Structure 1
Amino acid sequence: MGDRVTGEGSKYRIVSPSLTVKAMRDSGYKNTAYALAELIDNSIDAEATLVQVFACESPVQGATQTRHRVDTIAVLDNGKGMDAELLRRALKYGDGLGGDRVRIGRFGMGLPNSSMSQCTKVEVWSWTNGSPNAMYTYLDLEEINGGLDDVPSPVHRPVPEHWSDLSEAPLGTTGTLVVWSDLDRVKWHGAGATLRNTAELIGRVYRHYLHDGKVEIKMAPVREGKVLEEDEDNGAYFAEPNDPLYLMDSTGTPPPFGNKPMFEPFDMGNEKEPGVAYFPITVDGTKHNVKVRASIARPEARRADVEGHPWPDNANPNRDAGFHPWGQHARRNIGISLVRQGRELDLDSKWAIGYDPVERWWGIEVEFPPELDDIFGVTNNKQTATVFSSLAHFDWTAEAEGDETPKAFKDRIAEFGDPRLPLIDLALYLEKNLLPKMRRKLRQHTLGNRGGKKRHDDDVTSKATDAVKRRQEDGHTGTTDRLAEEATENDKRQEQYAALTERHHLDRDTAQSMVDEALEKDWRVRWISSPQDSTAFFNIDLMAGMLQVIFNTEHPLHNELMTVLEDVPEDTNEAELRQRLARASDTFKLLVFSWARMEDEIPNKRDRARISDARRDWGRYARDFIEDGSDDE
């Protein structure tokens, strides 16, 4: 066996110092906010009740004006602090500190990893017997690059007065201060922008801790050695809970939903735990429960006409809710929230349908215990769960061999030790059961008030109503006309309300407002979309004075035509709009071709003639409805 040379100068060293430093820096943090979350994890694990995040900026002279740029970020907490041994270990990569699964941060890499991903020097003071008796140590990238192998031995060094002066409260008997300097990877420039871009994520990651009052997190911009307390745009503030399920009653959601839930539990679970389901997963003979919570928007979040829930005076009721501040806020919270030990790991947007605006109006939280870290594939920077994320849009049939049954498929992948196996049932429940039900329910919300589209929908309804009335005046009587002759207004109201709520599963508020509006305006037609147990792409309800058309959302034509034309994201550009129109045009042509082929395949000449007559009759009716009824001059 050859010589085992491992000195600094060896050209055969497995990992070179320069590569080690690069790996430390490129550790996969999405941005400064996620890196800061690692430090807050440590503070919460240390039982801190107050965490202060300072972004300190200094003036930089530009070509025409002086700007301010963040040069130091610090996190100060009132947790239980660390002694010299624990402090030194905390700055070591992959130390055994992570063995306790009760901790949020259990991998023992958070402090050095996150710090070095943003700066070239990190300093730590920690004290267990007053800040004047603090222990101090640091990591310096230049020294590491020069061959430093050991974390410097902690020394006694009081916390600089500068930091105690900035603190919200006097420094207590115990606590920790982490300071990042020589920032070279912070994305945002000014202190205010840095904290604004951090606060929403921090509020979401620690929403349960914030909402339950377990911890306060202060975001404090510092300029010229002082916290900007009174500055309206850039002043200090406390992070507010940011709940992607919008079930919390006090959050940073824009008005009118900052002090009341914007969503409600989805219809599952029981009275004690509405909107909750449990999935057991067994590891090494022990069963652990995965908790799934689901919510969807309340009708008043998307409709301006829900009685007792008006929108703010400055909110245009004819604009889609997605354009308003609370809708934009929900847009930034799309996906399934993965929660471990009360702390969010990730808001996984892979489970959403990216182009569909309805996606912002549902929320799902999957909470699992630390014992399932390996099952979910939790990464060491706690930003995602790789195994769970890989199952978004999972289709087992695409991987099945021959005519494999679901059980046979699972048995086969179990033989290969496929890590996805324990989560497949959960993923299929979310993808094939829960999310489709939620989306169907949400599409019913805006049937009577489609925001910016409502005026156009009303125009179509009025035009179709005029056509019905003209035909009636010309002596063409329909079933809806005959039923209306003997029905009172109350009869009509009850019949329409029952059809909408019982047959098509609209919520009561939406159904009531639709019926009230139709009777007030004497509308004779109504268009809704609803899942139908039928191969027809639309069905009709014939009621007293009301011809109701139900577009079948389960038919492919709905997604390829109605969704393409109506559910258009607000930021769609001209090229995307052209693509949508072209797609809708192609779908319409295919629809007509399907009719033509139907006629082509009818073998009986008499039946084919009847279908041909029906086509001509439909063409005459279409002319009556599309033309405005005025006489040609």
Structure 2
Amino acid sequence: MTTYIFPASTAIESFRDAGYRDTSMALAELVDNSIQAEADNVRILAIEENVSVQRTVANVGSLAVYDDGHGMSPDVLEICLAFAQGTRLNTRSGIGRFGVGLPLASISQCKRVTVYSWQEGDCFTTYLDIDEVKKSKQQTTNEVEKCEIPGEILRHLDVPVKDHGSLIVWEDCDRLDLKRTQTLVRRMETSFCRIYRHFLDDDDTYGRQRDIRILIVKPDADVVESIKLLPNDPLYLMTPNNLPGFEDEATNEAYGEIQRIPVRFGNSGKKSMVEVRFSAIRQDIARWTRNADTASVVDHYKANTGISFVRAGREIDFGSFGYFNPQELKERYWGCEVRFGPELDELFGVTNNKQAVRDVDFIEREEVEQLHDGLSEDDIDFDHKIALRAELSKRFKIAHKAIRARIDSLAPETGRSVSGRKTDPAAQSAELAGQNFKNDPAKTKTKIEKDAVTPEEQDTKLKDMLIQEHGNDIPDNELDRMVEEIKATGVTITEKSWPGNQFYTIERPGEIMTIALNARHPFQVELYDKICKGPDTQEALAMNLFLLAAARAEDELWDDRSQETLEEFREKWGGWIKKLLTQLNNS
């Protein structure tokens, strides 16, 4: 009896849960293939479906990716939809390699994927249909057949079709994270402009420029909307770029020399070079308050607060990784990019869907010295990944301190300090509300329960809360200062994560009334983060005061029966907000 390690008819449904963050990241796998195929032009087609006349918005019916790369021969086409059968599994060059991108990304979003590819005008096609695989218990790929170049879809292109290229079509798209065309396209544009920035700018040194566009194909019409992707560079050194009002100039300046770190990999003792680049904002560009005139720049920089890890010209991951507190205003006005080659995939923990690096978080030198006590690079127990993290952490810490000092020098003399927590709207609103609450004699649950926690326990709870929210790299003196500031106001807003419908809850570490916002709830992402995670604005202050007022009202209804009712109310309210926001995104 033949036993398959992966019985396709049952395993393929499990493979659909591949872990792609969203439709954009799944499509990125196809764009990677186009770049690897040396395409000059890449087009992502969002083909709208017919909708009833009553609807005021259009939905995506199918998606396609076209490129004019070198195309695939029939023997390559035969394995392109088989899992782990890629032609570059053992190759350490370019942005491809893993051999799972095309099939895995496709079935994570749709039930049927069709691939067309042609060389010297000869076109061949194959497909993968999930329903067919499950129904017939299919174990092998479908045959490759010769066909005509698919003109029905390609007629929508804005460039001539060459005698070589490929077209991938996703049909029966049942797992798109967003169905509404404009919303999906907006997310795709946001993702691709940063991921592929080195292939979109006018400098071919690190990634040859390609023309990548999103085409929206209207139903029952020959109307096609074209969106050309411009680079979104978190270092703000590229031209052109998509920063509103500054599309043709760099708004940051390179800071310091490019730092090159030799890194050993594998068992052969070979070394590769990791490059770390920094930039800082120009003084004439920095915006210290958000208003109608500055909002576009402030919001753009805010969305690019982080460290970018770039593999072979393509961004893999972006975030703070415990290196800094992204909530501070000054942190958005510098950039850091870490470049590495595919040969270092294991050291950087690159996932096979190229969505993340793993275990590259900030690490203190003391911890490294303990792990490597008495070991040299040649010892078998020497951890080269830890050594890489240590070197990145050391170099970042030095450069970060100097850049922050420079940004401080750019800030205006008047107004609040850009380095203090007072730039956080949550802290500003807490200061305003806290004084009013303290002067109000009303009996509250916080006042009733405050003596159950000693001052020492309260400080410990507050420090734990701050570390959980901002990371464990906060210096002790800064942590003490933040605790004292919270104690001075008596209220604070923090962020946690828990399952369920409640988007906020109230905690009472001693005499501090604390609103904890649920990071898993769509309220956090769709409303609170967009409004409040930025500089001092009236909208952010109003949102936080709204939450603080609700918490204070609950605090004054201190008896057990009222508290139980309020708990149930928050559960139902949060459930409705979750349902309605989800429906809004998918409508």
Q: Which range, TM-score by smaller chain?
A: 0.5 to 0.7
Identity of aligned residues (%): 31
Q: Hey, what does 2:468 align to over in structure 1? A: none
- For residues 445 and 142 of structure 1, the distance between their equivalents in structure 2, rounded to whole angstroms, comes to 60
State which drifts further: 74-83 or 204-213.
204-213
Match of 1:371 among 339, 343, 367: 343
TM (normalized to structure 1)? 0.63
Higher relative contact order (CA 8 A, sep 6+): 2
Residue 189 of structure 1: CA displacement?
2.2
Residue 240 of structure 1: CA displacement?
0.6
* Structure 1 residues not aligned, in runs of 5+: 8-12, 230-234, 270-275, 305-317, 458-552, 583-633
Q: Hey, what does 1:326 align to over in structure 2? A: 297
Q: Hey, what does 1:307 align to over in structure 2? A: none
Residue 246 of structure 1: CA displacement?
0.5
- For residues 347 and 535 of structure 2, the distance between their equivalents in structure 1, rounded to whole angstroms, comes to 38
- For residues 351 and 342 of structure 2, the distance between their equivalents in structure 1, rounded to whole angstroms, comes to 12
* Structure 1 letter corresponding to 2:165: G
Q: Hey, what does 2:504 align to over in structure 1? A: none
1:221 touches 1:227 (CA, 8 Å); kept in 2? no
1:425 partnered with 2:394: no
Question: What does residue range 63-78 of structure 1 map to in structure 2 within 5 Å?
Answer: 64-65=54-55, 67-78=57-68
The 3 A distance-change label for structure 1 pair 436 and 20 is: farther
The 3 A distance-change label for structure 1 pair 55 and 332 is: same
Match of 1:41 among 21, 24, 32: 32
The 3 A distance-change label for structure 1 pair 374 and 407 is: closer
Residue 88 of structure 1: CA displacement?
1.4
1:448 partnered with 2:413: yes
The 3 A distance-change label for structure 1 pair 14 and 330 is: same
- For residues 375 and 57 of structure 1, the distance between their equivalents in structure 2, rounded to whole angstroms, comes to 42
- For residues 394 and 309 of structure 2, the distance between their equivalents in structure 1, rounded to whole angstroms, comes to 16
SS at match of 2:75: helix
State which drifts further: 559-568 or 30-39.
559-568
Question: What does residue range 393-432 of structure 1 map to in structure 2 within 5 Å?
Answer: 393-395=362-364, 397=366, 407-408=372-373, 416=381, 418=383, 420-432=385-397
The 3 A distance-change label for structure 1 pair 169 and 425 is: same
SS at match of 2:59: strand
1:54 touches 1:221 (CA, 8 Å); kept in 2? yes
Residue 38 of structure 1: CA displacement?
0.8
- For residues 406 and 242 of structure 2, the distance between their equivalents in structure 1, rounded to whole angstroms, comes to 26
Q: Hey, what does 1:287 align to over in structure 2? A: 271
Q: Hey, what does 2:19 align to over in structure 1? A: 28
SS at match of 1:253: coil
2:7 touches 2:139 (CA, 8 Å); kept in 1? no
- Residues 21-65 of structure 1, C-alpha deviation per residue, up to 9 Å, x if partnerless? 133211111111111111111111111000111101113238x53
Residue 159 of structure 1: CA displacement?
2.4
- Residues 455-488 of structure 1, C-alpha deviation per residue, up to 9 Å, x if partnerless? xx9xxxxxxxxxxxxxxxxxxxxxxxxxxxxxxx
- For residues 288 and 66 of structure 1, the distance between their equivalents in structure 2, rounded to whole angstroms, comes to 54
Question: What does residue range 260-409 of structure 1 map to in structure 2 within 5 Å?
Answer: 260-266=249-255, 268-269=256-257, 276-283=258-265, 284-303=268-287, 319=290, 324-350=295-321, 351-386=323-358, 390-395=359-364, 397=366, 407-408=372-373
SS at match of 2:51: strand
- For residues 438 and 417 of structure 1, the distance between their equivalents in structure 2, rounded to whole angstroms, comes to 33
Question: What does residue range 534-553 of structure 1 map to in structure 2 within 5 Å?
Answer: none
- Residues 257-316 of structure 1, C-alpha deviation per residue, up to 9 Å, x if partnerless? 2221121112x21xxxxxx11111122222211010101111122248xxxxxxxxxxxx
The 3 A distance-change label for structure 1 pair 285 and 413 is: closer
The 3 A distance-change label for structure 1 pair 81 and 292 is: same
Residue 323 of structure 1: CA displacement?
6.1
1:49 touches 1:215 (CA, 8 Å); kept in 2? yes
Residue 376 of structure 1: CA displacement?
1.0
* Structure 2 letter corresponding to 1:287: K
* Structure 2 residues not aligned, in runs of 5+: 203-207, 423-475, 490-532, 553-587
Q: Hey, what does 2:228 align to over in structure 1? A: 238
- For residues 139 and 430 of structure 1, the distance between their equivalents in structure 2, rounded to whole angstroms, comes to 48
1:109 touches 1:380 (CA, 8 Å); kept in 2? yes
* Structure 1 letter corresponding to 2:281: A
1:145 partnered with 2:134: yes
Residue 164 of structure 1: CA displacement?
2.5
Match of 1:216 among 205, 208, 211: 211
The 3 A distance-change label for structure 1 pair 278 and 157 is: same
- Residues 519-547 of structure 1, C-alpha deviation per residue, up to 9 Å, x if partnerless? xxxxxxxxxxxxxxxxxxxxxxxxxxxxx
- For residues 138 and 384 of structure 2, the distance between their equivalents in structure 1, rounded to whole angstroms, comes to 39
The 3 A distance-change label for structure 1 pair 576 and 364 is: farther
- For residues 240 and 568 of structure 1, the distance between their equivalents in structure 2, rounded to whole angstroms, comes to 26
Residue 326 of structure 1: CA displacement?
1.5
2:264 touches 2:384 (CA, 8 Å); kept in 1? no
Residue 555 of structure 1: CA displacement?
6.6
The 3 A distance-change label for structure 1 pair 352 and 414 is: farther
1:356 touches 1:569 (CA, 8 Å); kept in 2? no
Q: Provide the aligned length of Structure 1 versus Structure 2.
A: 438
SS at match of 2:315: strand
- For residues 184 and 440 of structure 1, the distance between their equivalents in structure 2, rounded to whole angstroms, comes to 50
The 3 A distance-change label for structure 1 pair 121 and 452 is: farther
Residue 575 of structure 1: CA displacement?
6.2
Q: Hey, what does 2:103 align to over in structure 1? A: 112
State which drifts further: 340-349 or 558-567.
558-567
Provide the alpha-carbon RMSD of the alignment: 3.5
2:290 touches 2:536 (CA, 8 Å); kept in 1? no
The 3 A distance-change label for structure 1 pair 413 and 145 is: farther
Residue 332 of structure 1: CA displacement?
1.5
- Residues 605-629 of structure 1, C-alpha deviation per residue, up to 9 Å, x if partnerless? xxxxxxxxxxxxxxxxxxxxxxxxx
The 3 A distance-change label for structure 1 pair 215 and 227 is: farther
The 3 A distance-change label for structure 1 pair 142 and 46 is: same
Structure exhibiting the larger radius of gyration computed from Cα positions: 1
Match of 2:178 among 152, 174, 188: 188
SS at match of 1:60: coil
- For residues 39 and 363 of structure 1, the distance between their equivalents in structure 2, rounded to whole angstroms, comes to 28
Question: What does residue range 511-522 of structure 1 map to in structure 2 within 5 Å?
Answer: none
- For residues 276 and 69 of structure 2, the distance between their equivalents in structure 1, rounded to whole angstroms, comes to 31
- For residues 16 and 54 of structure 1, the distance between their equivalents in structure 2, rounded to whole angstroms, comes to 33
- Residues 145-169 of structure 1, C-alpha deviation per residue, up to 9 Å, x if partnerless? 2311111111011123212211112
Question: What does residue range 242-253 of structure 1 map to in structure 2 within 5 Å?
Answer: 242-253=232-243
- Residues 218-238 of structure 1, C-alpha deviation per residue, up to 9 Å, x if partnerless? 110011255644xxxxx3121
Residue 423 of structure 1: CA displacement?
1.1
- For residues 576 and 288 of structure 1, the distance between their equivalents in structure 2, rounded to whole angstroms, comes to 53
* Structure 1 letter corresponding to 2:342: P
State which drifts further: 435-444 or 335-344.
435-444
Residue 123 of structure 1: CA displacement?
0.3
Residue 409 of structure 1: CA displacement?
7.5
